[in-house]
Structure 1
Amino acid sequence: MHKRLSLLLALPLTLSLSGCFDDDDDNDVEDMPDQENVAPEAISESFTTQVDTAFSEELTATDADGDALTYAVGEEPQQGTLELSDDGSFTYTPSEEVTGEDSFVYTVSDGVNDPVSATITITIEAQQVATSEYVRSAFNQAPTDEPLPVNGRELQQDVEDPDAFNDLIDQ
């Protein structure tokens, strides 16, 4: 009877220990739950330029998973033109003689999640022009030249001598 009891005790102990040394690796990739792909993040930014002055920049977006990102225009600017490259670099050109604020919306996608968007705000400042330079340029134009633009310019008074333009008049 004593042999039978030890055999009955040894059998469950052997079975439970055999599970500790199985060849099934619980760290297999197939056994791991799928991790959810995280959507990219698009960053809204602000830039400043002067009237009639184009500029180039790069959109800022990140993806925590390291997925390749693609960029697209979501909403076009109203006061200028936009050229957007596949890598997120862009060139913005304000319309002629326009000042104020403009904006556009871009979207970025990682190819897995829905695209996300951000807004780029552009301030178009008036161009600072010295009065003496502007007057001389206007006076020396040929009759067939386009008139010098005035809109979007702030003429700064830099002439203190009342005879500063006598050389133009005496010609």
Structure 2
Amino acid sequence: MAEALRRTVLALPLMASAAAAAEPDAWSFRFPALEGGEHDLAAWRGRVLLVVNTASFCGFTPQYAALQRLHERYRERGLVVFGVPSNDFNQEAASAAQVREFCDAQFGIDFPLAAISRVRGADAHPFFRWAAVRAGGEPRWNFHKYLVARDGQRVRGFATRVAPDNIEMTRAIEAALAAPGA
């Protein structure tokens, strides 16, 4: 019996490290793409990721312009802006084609966009459930932002009212870009 207990105690660190290794990171998720196919977040491993739930017909929709500017300003340094259209707040277009047409015509968006997805509640996309646990909760409105560090583990949430070009946001992005990768 003592030998069995000793083996169990010795195995605990191995079991803990295996559990930690099984813990998902941001790179563990995939989203259907707006135009078909999918976005595998693992393709952006080692970059800084800004995931934003978006909507076409919201008072905060002008944030699309600032998101596009962030994308243009920081992409060469490793930032990926990723938009996730959602109708959770009843302010998104009815189809992927309408979302794409709106984003192109109004804002010239060329950062990647997911298909229309749920971002709140039990039916939320798994990434949003994962991020909500790590970054202060689920989106309370459109244009909630999750900034994911290069390691894919550290996540910081920004409420809707924090505009993408707000000094708090740009300082956080610059700090994440300056930090070493995983």
TM range (shorter): under 0.3
Q: Which has the higher contact order (CA 8 A, sep 6+)?
A: 2
TM-score (norm 1): 0.24
More strand by share: 1
Q: Which has the larger radius of gyration?
A: 1
TM-score (norm 2): 0.23
